[in-house]
Amino acid sequence: MAQQHFSGLWAPVLVAIALVTLGRAAAVYPLCAIFAHSRFKVNLKHQHVLFWGGLRGALALALALSLPEDFSRRDVIVVITFAVVAFPVFAQGLTITPLLRRLGLLEHAN
């Protein structure tokens, strides 16, 4: 990955991150709405945490890296997949505590 040239890939990376994030929202909120009037209801604040805390696993990266070396555009697929996996770890992972505090689900440290 350190030898990859990222220039020219910023737009596809940002689009992929946006689509995956929107996909997470499309999965969390409607599924929680199905259970809104049952004993399995998920509080809206907790839905926000489920959405924002939805870290992507390394399985996607492992699948991208397992593509044959001669696979067309393999490098691009690996770079975009790495970005989609890394974004939630850094951006979402580092901001989950402030989100929990803002939602009132975590007290401020003294």
The DSSP code sequence of 52-107 is HT----SHHHHHHHTS-TTSTTHHHHHHHHHHHHHHIIIIIHHHHHHHHHHTTSSP
**pLDDT on residue 58:** 74
Q: What is the pTM of this model?
A: 0.81
**pLDDT on residue 89:** 85
Q: Would you state the structure tokens that stand for residue 64, as one six-digit string?
A: 């991208």
Counting the structural domains of the chain, the total is 1
Q: Tell me if 5 is assigned to some domain.
A: no
Q: What is the percentage of the chain residues whose pLDDT exceeds 90?
A: 67
DSSP class of 70: T
**pLDDT on residue 53:** 86
- Residues spanned by the domain of 54: 10-102
Q: Is the Cβ–Cβ distance between 92 and 55 less than 8 Å?
A: yes
Alpha-carbon distance values, 96 to 2, 34, 48, 101 (Å)? 28, 25, 10, 9
Q: Is the Cβ–Cβ distance between 48 and 32 less than 8 Å?
A: no
Q: What is the pLDDT of residues 69-107, one digit of tens each?
A: 999 999 999 999 998 988 888 899 899 999 999 999 998
Q: What's the rounded Cα separation, in Å, for the pair 88 and 83?
A: 9
The confidence band for 38, taking pLDDT boundaries of 50, 70 and 90, is very high
Q: Tell me if 39 is assigned to some domain.
A: yes
Q: Tell me if 3 is assigned to some domain.
A: no
> Is 33 a residue whose pLDDT tops 80?
yes
